[in-house]
Chain A
Amino acid sequence: MAPDARSGQTAAVLLTLSTTHRPATDLGFLLHKNPARAQQVEVSTGTAHVFYPEATDERCTVALLLEVDPIALVRGKGDGEGFALGQYVNDRPYAASSLLAVALGKVFASARRGVSKERPELADTPLPLEVHLPALSCRGGAALAERFFAPLGWQVQATELPLDEQFPEWGAGRHVDLRLTGTHRVADAVNHLYVGLPVLDGAKHYWVSADEIDKLLRAGQGWLAAHPERELIAARYLAHQKRLTGTAMARLAEVDDAADLDDAVAEEPAEAPERPTPLAQLRQGAVLAALRSAGAHRVLDLGCGNGALLTALLAEPAFTEVVGVDVSTRALEVAARRLRLDRMPERQRARLTLLQSALTYTDARLAGYDAAVLMEVVEHLDPDRLPALEHAVFTAAAPATVLVTTPNVEHNVRYPALAAGGMRHRDHRFEWTRAEFAAWAQGVAGRRGYAVRFLGIGPDDPEVGPPTQLAVFTRTSAQEVAA
């Protein structure tokens, strides 16, 4: 079927490979594509066209043009709910990415294996080659392209494309115009690109299954093991493009033209949590110590996130009932996975409850506990929501002990990486000085019938204090003195 007839293919991704080896037209034998004809190959994501804009003895260039059908990309999945605005309007049809890598793999399959019936010795010979990708999706900029290709022996010329020349203040986007020059076996060159396109893009368009590792090892034979960036390459090659569709949260972000709102948990694989930083460990230690000192047995972890503290609480039998509460269903899912809830022994499982709730609302399920922990939580709330949190935690839930930790902003000057005035997390709505935290906590204590004492967490810098501050509230009367 001629492409015209289906003609949904509406956009094109492009790659050229040139050689000045003589006779240059031998490139056709190595690629198994005749320079005298334009050919097309159906691939899973559209139609790949192979043609030679020039084919002389001096210079031969092959162009691989992938016509992508973005509408079929959306609708072809038969996924009636696969709606995301980003699917019709995205750079996949234009920019080189894993879509092109797949086409490359299929169209030049024989070439990648380094076999040529007609020119067997040439297939094993490094040839002077030039590669041009006018628009390569490269999250990490020109520098990353350099880091990937230069150690392989390519001379790299990567130019970051401006987002829009009419709005120079927007700067460059994530696309580069990439030109590579070098002397390589054609098979190696194709394999470099086959691996490099998804690695530089940082994500694959399709689900990454176990056999991707085999594919990477095959394509990387002879060069990947010695590449100085092999760890980065493996991590990025195996990363799957984040799911754009399907969740209710994603749809809410979309109706308001917002970036992803579902950011309550970091994008790390649940099975391999980052090793906690020393400060996080100290914070957890201080919280556990304060809970032990209060003699708490039934404990709420309010804003439990991915459940790091829950793990520590469950490890201690003295905590007979542990309730992890978060407003994000995704955070709770991640916590459940991390804690291996489905495989947890029944006795331990019976001690743990995970609940979705919001601290700006009261929740009868949270009443009557010994202690509540708000570890690095309050600073994620807009200041004008704090009175609601105060009522929900200190009057409605009213546990005997409340622990609140929050950054000490005075200490930020000790973090060289932090821009002046910058906050430690992009979702922080404020960060308090010790005096500000004390003023808030004492106000709460006075209004809600609690006593409060303060502790520092982490090294207590003589000038700017410790990095984290902890307030321990102890209930003195059962309820608020209110009208």
Chain B
Amino acid sequence: MSELAVPELSLVVLIGASGSGKSTFARRHFRPTQVLSSDVCRGLVSDDENDQAATADAFAVLQFIAATRLRAGKLTVVDATSVRKEDRASLVQLARDHDVLPVAIVLDVPEGVCLERNAARADRQLDRAVIARQRADLRRGLSGLSREGFRKVHRLSSVDEVESVVVTYEKAYNDLRDQTGPFDVVGDVHGCRAELEELLGRLGYTVTRDADGRPVDAVPPAGRRAVFLGDLVDRGPDSPGVLRLVMGMVRAGHALCVPGNHENKLVKALRGRDVQITHGLETTLAQLAGESEEFRRDVADFCHGLVSHYVLDGGALVVAHAGLTEELQGRASGRVRSFALYGDTTGETDEFGLPVRYPWAQDYRGRAMVLYGHTPVPEPEWVNNTMCLDTGCVFGGRLTALRYPERELVDVPAERTWYEPARPFLPDAGPAPERPAEVLDVADVLGKRAVETRLAGRVTVREENAAAAIEVMSRFALAPQALAYLPPTMSPVATSTREDLLEHPAEAFSYYRGEGVAEVVCQEKHMGSRAVALVRRADATGDPGRPVGERGALYTRTGRAFLGADLTTAFLARLATDVADAGVFDELDSDWVLLDGELLPWSVKAGDLIRDQYASVGAAARAVLPVAGSLLAQAAARGLDVAGLLDRQRTRAADAQAFTDAYRRYCWPTDGLTGTAFAAFQVLGAAGRTFADRPHAWHLSVADRLAAADPELLRSTARHVLDVTDPAAEQAATEWWTALTADGGEGMVVKPAANLTRGRRGVVQPGLKVRGREYLRLVYGPDYTAPANLTRLRERNLGRKRGLALREYALGLEGLERLARGEPMWRVHECVFAVLALESEPVDPRL
């Protein structure tokens, strides 16, 4: 019984005349979904599997399905005769287009067998001549299959062999997903052996030497393994020494190594091929001349055998010399190798004669972390979960390693500049080079999308909402670098059944009791606008010369700026001082903090709206109602029956006055920052962490310290903590709310005291607002308190609002957690954008 090896990801092309047993073979060895049959496709497009006129359409369908499967990384088997070279050419091209290996399995059974089986078929009888021609075509092409591009050719030349063979799968060379590390990934060494030895020492490796004192291996600390990113050789002082050490480590299982473009060229040179001896190759060849012939052969074999890239740790880590885009990871083709060695080159050269490269990492959206080298950078930086570790040691920079999964950088300085770079890579005295900004793509946000959240699973964003959000995001919101979070909407409490109220605390307490929450905190709702402040330590805040991602920010719930540029700068500078004075940066061990709060007064943000809508309504009402009242009084005096109308008119006048009083409370003049106040009530995030699991008592204590540091600008939040299973406590809390709202206070928010809480069905509402009776005139109109109006307004549906509040909460927290984990900007932005998009859902805005 022979074994027939097939790469796990490949395009398997069965080749054989009609009746050679391809379909039976495919059925026996592959899953039905893996097999694409030309007969089936003929049937799909023409209802007749034997309709030869449908062949072209059938192959178009087959190719489309095959392409879709290969793109998704699925092994695919093509069951068609494929006896002619031109039929196979399109399949080989298909495999190449998707960077998978084409494999040929030839069913070369005797013509008699084919004819016999053909004769036995009930549905189709082919002409003998057709089968004879197919056999002839097949035999003619047999010897050229490898030349056509098939990377493996299996020929089964008897019925016995066809029936007895066993298909086995072989892993791709680059598939080391079962190796989980931890790893120490080392950037371009370029013959800097001394620095490499020092770096390995810093990483805890013990160097082993041969009799001549030359390093031949380095034993890692328990469980760890080194990974070399290629370009071990050229330019530096001791390329042979580096090779000897790394080859020893790889053979001892202490290291993995991927090839660099310099190894690629070295192999060619050592094997006598015609290459230009430039870019430091001359140095290596000169150094190798002093080594033995055996060593040189050993080097050539080692370098030749290196695999273009590795996929490690279950697919979470990819290493390649020049990086690798997601669609090429784990694949095998000339294109993959070329990208891994040279990067995304355009074929052009720059002013220094070096190849021009497309900054692929800026667009990278893959799940796997990609570590690479190739292009020297002054500082390694995370760009979309990728990092370049070539810090130009040979040019006098440093040799750098990254500890994975710890994400810790370890580096040693170059002993000296070993080689002058063609293009200066270290910043001169001039301005710092522009950071490789992470770029956002419309495909990250547009269309129907689903965002995975830890708290609420997949959250779906509808296309229409994304379309609206992108306009607001790009025209009105702050730059995404400054916009790591947008606050979620908050649901009101269930509608009260009390005669003269729409909202009352009892329903909030009862909700949390029902969810099994005992302790809640009631927080005063400020008369302002929801505001998020990104505060950086004073030395980093308020400098408009800094990149936007390094500045602070103050923004509204849809990401718009509250204040002009100068005032924002002044505000953030002062807030930064206050946060520092209150010891918050130090306590959180962070240079920045993201605060959730309210900016007062409301008129700072909503001045136009208050004037155009609220004041305008009040002005009209106050002008018309007294006149109407006196006319009705006159009419009544004449004996007309207008009593009912007159009564209503008096109530209306009182309501209009109450309405005016209500909005006036939210307006006061400000001058510069004077009159403006910020009430923080929650710490959203700081370097490397989020705080949703800390009790509100902690958040409020931070807010209190801030308010104490600058009572003029910063306000604390009044609060009342209670146990909702204690009726007396509930009574006291209700009285607290009543006092808060009696003279027009906005109301309160009731939150689980412990903060993020799971209840019977997942996460409970993070807060419920209970708004004051007078305040609600601004929402439901001046006369909403009339009994008949209240009756109708009670029919409000909270379900959608509740669902939305939870989804937005989950998205907000997800974004903060991604930010804390140092994930790429697009991953954070995806959450922020989704919150904004959900805010455009059609939900009653009065809730």
Footprint of B on A, CB under 8 Å? 2-4, 6-14, 16, 36-38, 49, 51-55, 61, 63, 65, 67, 70-71, 75, 81, 83-86, 88-91, 93-95, 132, 134-135, 137, 161-164, 166-167, 169-170, 173-175, 177, 246-249, 251-252, 254-259, 261-262, 264, 327-329, 356-364, 380-382, 384-385, 387-388, 391-392, 395-396, 447, 449, 477-483
How distant is B782 from chain A, measured CB to nearest CB, in Å?
7
Write out the residue numbers on chain A whose beta carbons fall within 8 Å of the beta carbon of B351: 481
Write out the residue numbers on chain A whose beta carbons fall within 8 Å of the beta carbon of B471: 249, 261-262, 264, 327-329, 358
Write out the residue numbers on chain B whose beta carbons fall within 8 Å of the beta carbon of A84: 845
Footprint of A on B, CB under 8 Å? 346-348, 350-351, 356-359, 362-363, 375, 377, 388, 433-434, 436-437, 439-446, 464-465, 467-476, 478-479, 489, 529, 548, 556-558, 560, 602, 605-606, 608-609, 611-621, 623-625, 627-628, 631-632, 634-635, 638, 640-642, 644-645, 648-649, 652, 655-656, 660, 664, 667, 669, 778-784, 786-789, 792-793, 836, 839-846
A2–B648 CA distance with the chains assembled, in angstroms: 13
A169–B669 CA distance with the chains assembled, in angstroms: 10
Evaluate contact between B788 and A361: CB separation under 8 angstroms: no
For this complex, 27 residue pairs linking A to B, each with C-beta atoms less than 8 Å apart, are A14-B627, A38-B642, A38-B645, A51-B632, A51-B635, A65-B645, A67-B645, A85-B845, A91-B620, A94-B621, A95-B620, A135-B620, A135-B621, A163-B611, A251-B839, A251-B840, A251-B841, A252-B469, A357-B442, A361-B440, A361-B444, A363-B441, A381-B475, A391-B362, A478-B346, A481-B350, A482-B357
Evaluate contact between A252 and B468: CB separation under 8 angstroms: yes
9 nearest A-B pairs in the assembled complex, by CB-CB distance: A248-B468, A10-B783, A53-B634, A248-B840, A358-B474, A257-B606, A94-B620, A7-B788, A163-B615
Write out the residue numbers on chain A whose beta carbons fall within 8 Å of the beta carbon of B474: 327, 358-361, 381, 385
Evaluate contact between A380 and B475: CB separation under 8 angstroms: yes
Write out the residue numbers on chain B whose beta carbons fall within 8 Å of the beta carbon of A252: 468-469, 472, 558, 836, 839-840
Interface of B is mostly: helix
Write out the residue numbers on chain B whose beta carbons fall within 8 Å of the beta carbon of A86: 613
Write out the residue numbers on chain A whose beta carbons fall within 8 Å of the beta carbon of B660: 164
Assuming the A-B contacts A163-B611, A258-B560, are A11 and B783 also in contact, with contact meaning beta carbons closer than 8 angstroms in the complex? yes
A207–B625 CA distance with the chains assembled, in angstroms: 29
A327–B474 CA distance with the chains assembled, in angstroms: 8
How distant is B504 from chain A, measured CB to nearest CB, in Å?
20
Residue of B nearest to A169 (CB): B669
How distant is A306 from chain B, measured CB to nearest CB, in Å?
15
15 new A-B contacts at CB < 8 Å, known A7-B786, A38-B642: A8-B792, A38-B645, A70-B783, A83-B845, A163-B616, A256-B560, A257-B529, A257-B609, A259-B608, A261-B476, A329-B468, A356-B467, A360-B474, A388-B479, A479-B348
A198–B348 CA distance with the chains assembled, in angstroms: 67
A51–B629 CA distance with the chains assembled, in angstroms: 13
How distant is B616 from chain A, measured CB to nearest CB, in Å?
5
Evaluate contact between B618 and A12: CB separation under 8 angstroms: no
A356–B466 CA distance with the chains assembled, in angstroms: 11
A407–B634 CA distance with the chains assembled, in angstroms: 62
Evaluate contact between B664 and A164: CB separation under 8 angstroms: yes
A411–B762 CA distance with the chains assembled, in angstroms: 62
A206–B550 CA distance with the chains assembled, in angstroms: 51
Evaluate contact between B479 and A327: CB separation under 8 angstroms: no
Write out the residue numbers on chain B whose beta carbons fall within 8 Å of the beta carbon of A90: 613, 617
From A14, A363, A391, give the contact of B624 (CB < 8 A).
A14
A54–B779 CA distance with the chains assembled, in angstroms: 38
Evaluate contact between B631 and A16: CB separation under 8 angstroms: yes
Evaluate contact between A483 and B375: CB separation under 8 angstroms: yes
Evaluate contact between A38 and B619: CB separation under 8 angstroms: no
Assuming the A-B contacts A255-B489, A380-B475, are A477 and B350 also in contact, with contact meaning beta carbons closer than 8 angstroms in the complex? yes
Evaluate contact between B442 and A363: CB separation under 8 angstroms: yes
Assuming the A-B contacts A51-B640, A91-B617, A164-B619, are A12 and B649 also in contact, with contact meaning beta carbons closer than 8 angstroms in the complex? yes
Write out the residue numbers on chain B whose beta carbons fall within 8 Å of the beta carbon of A166: 664
Write out the residue numbers on chain B whose beta carbons fall within 8 Å of the beta carbon of A89: 613-614, 617, 778-782
Evaluate contact between A135 and B781: CB separation under 8 angstroms: no
A10–B792 CA distance with the chains assembled, in angstroms: 13
Evaluate contact between A135 and B614: CB separation under 8 angstroms: no
Residue of B nearest to A245 (CB): B842
A61–B324 CA distance with the chains assembled, in angstroms: 86
Evaluate contact between B652 and A11: CB separation under 8 angstroms: yes
Residue of B nearest to A356 (CB): B467
Write out the residue numbers on chain B whose beta carbons fall within 8 Å of the beta carbon of A164: 615, 618-619, 660, 664
How distant is B488 from chain A, measured CB to nearest CB, in Å?
11
Residue of B nearest to A94 (CB): B620
A135–B618 CA distance with the chains assembled, in angstroms: 11
Write out the residue numbers on chain B whose beta carbons fall within 8 Å of the beta carbon of A75: 792
From B350, B617, B652, B845, give the contact of A251 (CB < 8 A).
B845
Write out the residue numbers on chain B whose beta carbons fall within 8 Å of the beta carbon of A8: 786, 788-789, 792
A395–B842 CA distance with the chains assembled, in angstroms: 38
A362–B829 CA distance with the chains assembled, in angstroms: 14
Write out the residue numbers on chain B whose beta carbons fall within 8 Å of the beta carbon of A161: 619-620, 623
Evaluate contact between B356 and A479: CB separation under 8 angstroms: yes
Assuming the A-B contacts A161-B619, A177-B623, A251-B839, are A478 and B377 also in contact, with contact meaning beta carbons closer than 8 angstroms in the complex? no
Evaluate contact between B788 and A6: CB separation under 8 angstroms: yes
Evaluate contact between A254 and B845: CB separation under 8 angstroms: yes
Assuming the A-B contacts A88-B780, A135-B623, are A249 and B475 also in contact, with contact meaning beta carbons closer than 8 angstroms in the complex? no
Evaluate contact between B440 and A388: CB separation under 8 angstroms: yes
Query: Of residues A52, A167, A259, which shows the largest number of chain B Cβ atoms within 10 Å of its Cβ?
Result: A167
A52–B375 CA distance with the chains assembled, in angstroms: 90
A63–B489 CA distance with the chains assembled, in angstroms: 46
A173–B446 CA distance with the chains assembled, in angstroms: 41
Write out the residue numbers on chain B whose beta carbons fall within 8 Å of the beta carbon of A135: 619-621, 623-624
A275–B664 CA distance with the chains assembled, in angstroms: 45
A242–B579 CA distance with the chains assembled, in angstroms: 46
From B439, B605, B624, give the contact of A94 (CB < 8 A).
B624
Evaluate contact between B557 and A173: CB separation under 8 angstroms: no
A37–B638 CA distance with the chains assembled, in angstroms: 10
Write out the residue numbers on chain A whose beta carbons fall within 8 Å of the beta carbon of B388: 483
Write out the residue numbers on chain A whose beta carbons fall within 8 Å of the beta carbon of B782: 10-11, 89
From A175, A360, A364, give the contact of B440 (CB < 8 A).
A360
How distant is A46 from chain B, measured CB to nearest CB, in Å?
12
From A37, A259, A384, give the contact of B479 (CB < 8 A).
A384
Write out the residue numbers on chain B whose beta carbons fall within 8 Å of the beta carbon of A480: 356, 358-359
Residue of A nearest to B623 (CB): A135
Assuming the A-B contacts A327-B470, A384-B548, are A482 and B348 also in contact, with contact meaning beta carbons closer than 8 angstroms in the complex? no
How distant is A464 from chain B, measured CB to nearest CB, in Å?
26
Evaluate contact between A167 and B667: CB separation under 8 angstroms: yes
Assuming the A-B contacts A51-B640, A70-B781, A91-B616, are A255 and B845 also in contact, with contact meaning beta carbons closer than 8 angstroms in the complex? yes
Evaluate contact between B638 and A52: CB separation under 8 angstroms: yes
How distant is B621 from chain A, measured CB to nearest CB, in Å?
4
Evaluate contact between A83 and B616: CB separation under 8 angstroms: no
Write out the residue numbers on chain B whose beta carbons fall within 8 Å of the beta carbon of A482: 357, 359, 436
Write out the residue numbers on chain A whose beta carbons fall within 8 Å of the beta carbon of B623: 94, 134-135, 161, 175, 177
From B465, B558, B645, give the contact of A49 (CB < 8 A).
B645
A95–B351 CA distance with the chains assembled, in angstroms: 71
A52–B467 CA distance with the chains assembled, in angstroms: 55
Write out the residue numbers on chain A whose beta carbons fall within 8 Å of the beta carbon of B529: 257
Write out the residue numbers on chain B whose beta carbons fall within 8 Å of the beta carbon of A356: 446, 467, 470
Evaluate contact between A256 and B446: CB separation under 8 angstroms: no
A167–B631 CA distance with the chains assembled, in angstroms: 29
A478–B669 CA distance with the chains assembled, in angstroms: 55
Evaluate contact between A85 and B475: CB separation under 8 angstroms: no
Write out the residue numbers on chain A whose beta carbons fall within 8 Å of the beta carbon of B434: 447
Evaluate contact between A483 and B377: CB separation under 8 angstroms: yes
Evaluate contact between A55 and B638: CB separation under 8 angstroms: yes
How distant is A145 from chain B, measured CB to nearest CB, in Å?
15
Evaluate contact between B470 and A358: CB separation under 8 angstroms: yes
How distant is A14 from chain B, measured CB to nearest CB, in Å?
5
How distant is B362 from chain A, measured CB to nearest CB, in Å?
8
